[in-house]
Amino acid sequence: MKLTYFGHSACLLETEEHKLLFDPFISDNPLCTVKLEDIQCDYILLTHGHSDHYGDTESISRANDAPVIATFELASYCGSKGLRTVPMNIGGSAEFPFGRVKLTSAHHSSSYPGPNGLPIYMGEPAGILVMSEGQTFYHAGDTSLTMDMKLTGELHEIDLALLPIGDHFTMGIFEAIKAVGFLKPKRVVPCHYNTFPPIETDPMAFVSKLAETEDIVCEGHVLAPGESLRF
CATH topology of domain 2-223: Metallo-beta-lactamase; Chain A (3.60.15)
What pLDDT sits at residue 139?
99
The arithmetic mean of pLDDT across residues 67-71, rounded, is: 99
Report how far Cα 115 is from the mean position of its chain's Cα atoms: 27
In 3D space, the residue among 150, 74, 67 whose CA is nearest the CA of residue 105 turns out to be: 150
What pLDDT sits at residue 43?
99
149/145 Cα distance (integer angstroms): 8
DSSP H/E element including 80:
helix 72-80
Average of per-residue pLDDT values in the chain: 98
Contacts of 213 (CB under 8 A, 6+ apart): 177, 181
What pLDDT sits at residue 117?
83
Contacts of 161 (CB under 8 A, 6+ apart): 137, 138, 140, 180, 183, 185, 187, 188, 189
- Domains of the chain by residue range: 2-223
pLDDT for residue 81 is more than 90 = yes
32/225 Cα distance (integer angstroms): 6
Instruction: Round the CA-based radius of gyration of the chain to a whole number and report it.
Output: 16
The arithmetic mean of pLDDT across residues 50-54, rounded, is: 98
pLDDT level of residue 222 (50, 70, 90 thresholds)? very high
pLDDT level of residue 188 (50, 70, 90 thresholds)? very high
pLDDT level of residue 17 (50, 70, 90 thresholds)? very high
175/203 Cα distance (integer angstroms): 13
In 3D space, the residue among 190, 13, 11 whose CA is nearest the CA of residue 99 turns out to be: 13
The arithmetic mean of pLDDT across residues 16-41, rounded, is: 97
pLDDT for residue 143 is more than 90 = yes
